[in-house]
Copies of this chain bind each other. A is one copy, B any other.
Amino acid sequence: MTVALAARRAGNLTELAKAVGGKAFACDATKRAEVQILFADVDAAFGAPDVVVYNASYRTRGPFVDLDPVDVEKALAVSAFGGFLVAQEAAKRMLPRRHGAILFTGASASVKGYAQSAPFAMGKFALRGLAQSLARELAPHGIHVGHVVVDGGIRSAQRPDPPGNSDSLLDPDAIAQSYLHLLQQQRSAWAWEIELRPWVEKF
């Protein structure tokens, strides 16, 4: 598996790209032209993609009346519209081959709108609507669309499990196992959505 990684600042990905033997690309997912160039570049470097994952999101929070509308537009653009642009380029390459998978990363906010967090819910609900529509439309063409609801905080070097509360944050590798499982499912038994949360997380 060869991996192409993209972010607005490709430099942020240099280390990760090296670690996975992949290649980093610069792309603002909210700009159609940039997404088209990204996919053309990846085509040239690696060929048509088998799997495309959309993770990007933007959130802002606070009392509803204090939210800056500019941030709300950005939340919709990054969390949802970018997902559309990326999925469309992916689908264009997968449909002719009747092969491929498109995975979207959701959050608790994909299925529950929390107080003081309307913009994140708007973006993530929209992305889930996109994923569900696409699953219905593309599955019969042999393309597997999946939406993973990550319901909890994600562990990282900067954010380790709190002392005495092990595995209370989602391990990125554990999340990846479920993405991998979706990709390995036989088409007679596809899931379009899976919700992941730590064993001690309230829900």
Contacts and interface: CB of A to CB of B under 8 A. Distances in A.
Contact of A187 (B87, B116, B195, B199): B199
Contacts of A171: 186, 188-189
A115 interface: yes
A126 B187 contact: no
Nearest to A79: B126
Contacts of A200: 139-140
Contact of A133 (B69, B118, B130, B170): B118
A131 to B, nearest CB: 7
A95 interface: yes
Contact of A113 (B72, B131, B167, B199): B131
Contact of A126 (B80, B85, B184): B80
Interface in A21-63: 32, 63
Given A178-B185, A192-B195, A64 B134 contact: yes
Interface residues of A, number: 79
Interface in A170-203: 170-171, 173-175, 177-178, 181, 184-200, 203
Given A137-B116, A167-B187, A188-B174, A69 B95 contact: no
Contact of A189 (B114, B123, B133, B197): B197
B91 A72 contact: no
Contacts of A184: 177
A191 B190 contact: no
A61 to B, nearest CB: 10
A155 B84 CA distance: 32
Contact of A191 (B95, B113, B136, B178): B178
17 contacts: A63-B137, A64-B87, A64-B134, A69-B81, A80-B126, A84-B119, A113-B129, A115-B136, A116-B133, A118-B134, A118-B137, A121-B129, A122-B133, A171-B189, A178-B191, A188-B199, A190-B197
